[in-house]
Structure formats: structure tokens, C-alpha cells
């Protein structure tokens, strides 16, 4: 079995509308209808991260799905790994692809490993713990403290794309390190049903 780590960065489409509301309202705007994908990152087992970034979201999505399809090659034992990937990344990728008429690479949700689900033993409801919170328990793992998901939109509008892309690459490395520990400790073998 092989795996690929996936993560995305998003930004609200309506900058003025986003900045005119409070923090709790801003979170509601981070959905595939009111926001766009500004970068998609993947990391195959042990390889350097690959980041898709373009002002043309449709092209970026097409490139991502082609890469995912090439990785899977019809072998559904190859896993897709992410942190909150089922609750955020995959719905965003699929919905934005629908909006741009981009053909996806089909997948089966049981073959997607969502580390947030695994680490909470599939607990329902609001969960505490972001990716960075879990990263602190992995020795020698560098975390970028000057940016997080809630600051991506502001960094994007300030033109700090390189900073966002570096943050995305680091999150891919953190996610892979957490996944490796989850496998080592057999947490990935917890099944919902």
C-alpha cells in the first residue's frame, strides 16, 4: 500500500465582505461556494511536496486530479491521507471542480484516511486540536508559527503567496509525520463500522 498526503489553502472570493464581518462570521464564509482554492499540495510517501498554484483555479484543479489519478492508477489500496480531509479538503476540491466543470479522479471515502477522525476515534461533534497542536508531540518537527489557516486569506491579499506555499509544504510534512506515528501506533486500524 502506498499513500499520498493532500492539503489545500483557500481564500474567500469577496474580500470586502469577508473583512467586514467578525471572526465567527468569517469562518462561515470558508466554504466552497463563497471561497476559492488558491493552492493544492500533495506529498507522496517520502518525496518532496508538490504544490499546484495558479490564478486559474480550473487549471489547478485539473492538474491536481490528473496527478491523483496517476498516483492511484486504479489501485484503490493506495490511500489518500489528510488532516480534516473529509470535512474540508475533499468537499472543497469536489465542489470547486463541479463549479468549474473539471473531471475528478473518483475515490472511495473508506480509502481516505482522515487523521482528525483517527486521532479522535471517530468522535462526533466539535473537536479540539488543530494540526499544529498534534505536531508539537513529534520530535524535531519544525512548525511555522507566524502563519496558520486563519491568516491565509490576509496573507493572500497582501501578496505573500510564497509564504502561503511554504506554509502548505510544511503542513504536508507535518501531516505525513503524524500519519507515520498513527500507523506505528496502529491508530489507523480503528474502524468506524
- Mean pLDDT on 77-103: 95
Average pLDDT, the chain: 90
pTM of the model: 0.92
Mind giving me the DSSP string for 2-22? -EEEEEEEEEES-HHHHHTS-
Asked if 12 and 153 count as a contact pair (C-beta separation under 8 A), the reply is: yes
Per-residue model confidence (pLDDT) at position 148: 67
Residue 145's pLDDT band, with cuts at 50, 70 and 90, is low
181 C-beta neighbours (distance < 10 Å), count: 16
d(CA 151, CA 171): 14
Convert the pLDDT of each residue in 107-140 to its tens digit.
989 889 999 999 998 887 677 788 888 888 888 8
- Answer CATH for 3-189 from 3.40.50.970, 3.40.190.10, 1.20.1090.10, 3.30.420.10: 3.30.420.10
d(CA 34, CA 18): 10
Which helix or strand (DSSP H or E) is residue 132 part of?
helix 131-135
Is the model's pLDDT at 49 over the cut of 80?
Answer: yes
d(CA 54, CA 13): 15
Q: Rg of the Cα trace of the chain?
A: 16
Is the model's pLDDT at 92 over the cut of 80?
Answer: yes
> Residue ranges per domain, the chain?
3-189
- Mean pLDDT on 22-43: 90
- Mean pLDDT on 59-87: 91
Amino acid at each position: 500500500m502506498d499513500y499520498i498526503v493532500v492539503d489545500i489553502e483557500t481564500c474567500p472570493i469577496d474580500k470586502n465582505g469577508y473583512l467586514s464581518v467578525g471572526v465567527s462570521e468569517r469562518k462561515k464564509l470558508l466554504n466552497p461556494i463563497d471561497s476559492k482554492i488558491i493552492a493544492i499540495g500533495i506529498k507522496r510517501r517520502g518525496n518532496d511536496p508538490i504544490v499546484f498554484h495558479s490564478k486559474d483555479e480550473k487549471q489547478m484543479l485539473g492538474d491536481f486530479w490528473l496527478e491523483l489519478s496517476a498516483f492511484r492508477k486504479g489501485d484503490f489500496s493506495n490511500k489518500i491521507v489528510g488532516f480534516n480531509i473529509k470535512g474540508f479538503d475533499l468537499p472543497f476540491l469536489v465542489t470547486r471542480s463541479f463549479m468549474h466543470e473539471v473531471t475528478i479522479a473518483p475515490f472511495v471515502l473508506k480509502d481516505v484516511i482522515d487523521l482528525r477522525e483517527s486521532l479522535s476515534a471517530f468522535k462526533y461533534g466539535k473537536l479540539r486540536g488543530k494540526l499544529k497542536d498534534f505536531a508539537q508531540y513529534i520530535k524535531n518537527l519544525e512548525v511555522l508559527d507566524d502563519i496558520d489557516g486563519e491568516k491565509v486569506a490576509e496573507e493572500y491579499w497582501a501578496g505573500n503567496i510564497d509564504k502561503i506555499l511554504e506554509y502548505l509544504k510544511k503542513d504536508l510534512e507535518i501531516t505525513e509525520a503524524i500519519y507515520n506515528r498513527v500507523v506505528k501506533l496502529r491508530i489507523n486500524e480503528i474502524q468506524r463500522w
